[in-house]
Amino acid sequence: MGSSGKRRTTFTKLNRESKLRDKRAEKQARKAARKVTMASEVAETAAVAEVAGTAAAELDAGVPSGGSGAAPLQD
C-alpha cells in the first residue's frame, strides 16, 4: 500500500529542529569564546614570561631593573 501524496512536516518537528539549530549555534559561540579566552591567556602568559626573562637577564648583567642604567644620586 503506497502513500497517497506528499507527507507534510508537522510544526512539532519544525520547532524541535529549530531549537536544535539554536542550541548548536549557542554551543559554537561558547566554543569560539573559549578559544579567544585561551588565546589571550596564552599571549598574556608569554608576555609575563618575556618580562620575567628580561628582568632576570638584567640582574645577571648587573643592570638595575629601572632600566636606565644611570647611577643613583647620593645625598
User: DSSP per residue over 12-24, as a string?
Assistant: HHHHHHHHHHHHH
HSE (side-chain half, CA atoms, 13 Å) at 70:
4
What pLDDT score does 57 carry? 62
What pLDDT score does 61 carry? 64
What pLDDT score does 44 carry? 81
Would you kindly state where each structural domain of the chain is located, as residue ranges?
A: 11-61
- Which is nearest to 15 in space by CA: 23, 7, 5? 23
pTM value? 0.48
What pLDDT score does 73 carry? 63
What pLDDT score does 30 carry? 97
10-residue averages of pLDDT along the chain (75 residues): 74 96 98 91 78 65 57 62
- Give me 2's grid cell: 503506497
What pLDDT score does 34 carry? 93
